[in-house]
Amino acid sequence: MGGRRRRTSLASVLAVALLAGGCGSDDGGGDGDAAGSDEQVTLRFAWWGSDERRELTEAAIAAFEEQHPNIDVQGEYIEWSGYWDRLATQVAANDAPDVITQEERFLREYAGRGALLDLSEYEDTIDLSQLDPLVTGSGEVDGGLYGLPTGVNAYVVYANPRLFDQAGVELPDDATWTWDDYIRIANEITAATGGEIVGAMDYGGNEAGLKILARQHGQELYDEDGELALEPATLAQWWEYSLQLRDGGGTPQATLSAEQQDTGSPEQTLLGTNRAAMAWYWSNTLAALSGASGGELRLLRPPGEHERERTGNYYKPAMHYSVSARTEHPEEAAMLVDFLLNDPAAIDAVRSDRGLPANLEQRERILADLNEHQVAEAEYLAQIQEDVVDAPPAPPVGAGQVVDIIKRLNIEVLFDRLSPDEAAEQFINEVEAATG
């Protein structure tokens, strides 16, 4: 046997083994007409999240099916990071779910590429009158309405009062505290407990906090046209704060922060395991974090709200419901979206799991009998109302990539591989390339 034959067969081995990615796809598939109302219809409804969310959502689906016996809704659920991979391939294969849960950074990606239905054409079916005007606009893309917000969220500095006690440090007044206060308090807690407890978890890889700082400076992460609208100095300051915390002991050593940055579940975070006194998260994480830490957590406003030009906090649509442009049953899909947003049965089932309900009437109704976590969350959202000036403009197409860019640059800074100024410059270059 000569070398030649082996070489060719080897080449085919490589060729076979190498390519998992490219799949052929045909792009036919015109829109089906709206189905008649009594016909037996099956809808697919996709969301991401925990097992708890699955139970709540399936209860809502059951209530919907009871009202509409001719519609069968099949839930498709998976955890956050796998969700987007799967959705992308499903859409490419012309096999998208009928009702799709979206997040604002990905909503524009899908809407801008024609994958979603313009829901403004279904206003007869979907009642928009009760939805919180502070977040409804977030689903508008290029003049169409492609997503409707499920509920309202805001960013929070969670504080664990027991750990503050243990360190002998007083809880700050969150109406007036500055960034320097935040850093000083975090450093004090670590020092007072000899490092047994760290003051705060590192938050430099999180866009939402940066957005708040930028707004405090009178800037935005993205402007109305989707262009980056913050100054390099703001970014540099953002990471400068991280270094002050790292060097002062207020946040843990860099390798631990790097591990925590990729920790998805609240139970495993330093806050959840009672080893950090403060951490930044979304308000609808309260129940999960309190459950993990086994005690009450305080919800503090971000520092620096009255330190600079203006306040930075904002309400964020927790998620959006959208409908696939290729659904065969647009009318029924719109009915399901309307039900999830407005029907008391759906609100009773899902409660504040997708943020505090966007429907103001329903939000008011359930406030009366919320559990302690939901009450604290609702109170926080009410409390910051005086700080919330406006909503940040919707992020541009490509913003989904920024999630990873800022995390990566944060690590570069924490390990002193880039200075805050260098990281700021690189952030701007990379984000402009991703969203350009």
Structure tokens at 59: 């209860």
x/- map, 413-432, other proteins, by CB under 8 A: --x-x---------------
- Residue among 84 and 282 whose Cβ is closer to other proteins: 84
User: 6, 123, 173, 268: which one contacts other proteins (CB under 8 A)?
Assistant: 6
x/- map, 236-275, other proteins, by CB under 8 A: -----------------xxxx-xx--x-------------
Give, for 160, the enclosing helix (H) or strand (E): none
Beta strands across the sheet bearing 148-149: 71-78, 41-48, 99-102, 320-323, 148-149
Q: How far is the CB of 410 from other proteins (least distance, A)?
A: 9
Structure tokens at 109: 């990606």
Instruction: Map residue 389 onto helix, strand or coil.
Output: coil
The set of residues, in sequence order, having a beta carbon less than 8 Å from that of 328 and lying 6+ positions away, is 32, 35, 98
Check binding of 3 to other proteins (CB under 8 A): yes
Q: How far is the CB of 62 from other proteins (least distance, A)?
A: 32
> Among 65-73, 145-153, 240-248, 401-409, which window interacts with other proteins (CB under 8 A)?
401-409
Q: How far is the CB of 165 from other proteins (least distance, A)?
A: 25
Check binding of 12 to other proteins (CB under 8 A): yes
* Alpha-carbon gap, residue 405 to 207, rounded angstroms: 10
* Alpha-carbon gap, residue 225 to 428, rounded angstroms: 16
x/- map, 33-72, other proteins, by CB under 8 A: ----------------------------------------
* Alpha-carbon gap, residue 17 to 5, rounded angstroms: 19
> Among 49-57, 173-181, 190-198, 397-405, which window interacts with other proteins (CB under 8 A)?
397-405
Check binding of 408 to other proteins (CB under 8 A): yes
CA distances for 195 relative to 117, 182, 250, 251, angstroms: 53, 17, 9, 10
* Alpha-carbon gap, residue 310 to 217, rounded angstroms: 7
Check binding of 368 to other proteins (CB under 8 A): no
Euclidean distance between the first and final Cα of the chain, in Å?
55
Instruction: Map residue 258 onto helix, strand or coil.
Output: helix
Q: How far is the CB of 357 from other proteins (least distance, A)?
A: 30
Per the listing, tokens 């009594």 go with 38
Q: How far is the CB of 231 from other proteins (least distance, A)?
A: 24
Contact 187, 361 (CB under 8 A): no
User: Contacts for 15-24 with beta carbons within 8 Å, 24 or more apart?
Assistant: 23/89, 23/92, 23/93
- Residue among 176 and 273 whose Cβ is closer to other proteins: 273
x/- map, 188-227, other proteins, by CB under 8 A: ----------------------------------------
Q: Footprint of other proteins on residues 72-131 (CB under 8 A)? A: 81, 84-85, 88-89, 91-92, 109-110, 113-115
Instruction: Map residue 99 onto helix, strand or coil.
Output: strand
**Number of residues binding to other proteins, judged by CB under 8 A:** 51
- Maximum CA extent, the chain: 83
Please give the residue ranges that form the binding site for other proteins (CB under 8 A). Answer: 1, 3, 6-7, 9-19, 21-25, 27, 81, 84-85, 88-89, 91-92, 109-110, 113-115, 253-256, 258-259, 262, 398, 400-401, 404, 407-408, 411-412, 415, 417, 434
